[in-house]
Amino acid sequence: EVQLVESGGGLVQPGGSLRLSCAASGFTFSTYWMSWVRQAPGKGLEWVANIKQDGSEIYYVDSVKGRFTISRDNAQNSLFLQMNSLRVEDTAVYYCASQVWGGPFDYWGPGILVTVSS
């Protein structure tokens, strides 16, 4: 059974940092692009970043460029999102999701809440 499980969320003050992790199992993690997608409370879905199978290509939405860093460890079947200089508008549930390039986000984790507030 495919499983993606996020961790590392919580409450942080504006300007602070958090590191999200996503543990994958039940599929060959190293053969998939991986993404982070977020959803602010009561709002729609927003793709945040993705990373190629070997980490050689990485892309970000403009609003997080220079503040967030996506990475992966294929030996540990794990995906990460380092979030620095957090803003109130980064408050959201963050999902990790797998994807085939050009295809849908086919497997999703349950999500983890990040709250940025003073």
Partner 1 sequence: DIQMTQSPSSLSASVGDRVTISCRASQSITTYLNWYQQKPGKAPKVLIYAASSLQSGVPSRFSGSGSGTDFTLTISSLQPEDFATYYCQQSHSTPRTFGQGTKVEIK
Which is closer to partner 1, CB of 82 or CB of 99? 99
Give least dist CB 66 to partner 1, A. 15
Q: Is 105 an interacting residue with respect to partner 1 (CB under 8 A)?
A: yes
Classify 54 as helix, strand or coil.
Answer: coil
Report the candidate in 51, 36, 50 with the shortest Cα–Cα distance to residue 92. 36
Residues 16-45 contacting partner 1, CB under 8 A: 35, 44-45
Report the candidate in 43, 113, 115, 45 with the shortest Cα–Cα distance to residue 86. 115
Which is closer to partner 1, CB of 9 or CB of 111? 111
Q: Is 111 an interacting residue with respect to partner 1 (CB under 8 A)?
A: yes
Binding positions for partner 1, rule: CB under 8 A: 35, 44-47, 50, 59, 61-62, 95, 99, 102-106, 108-111
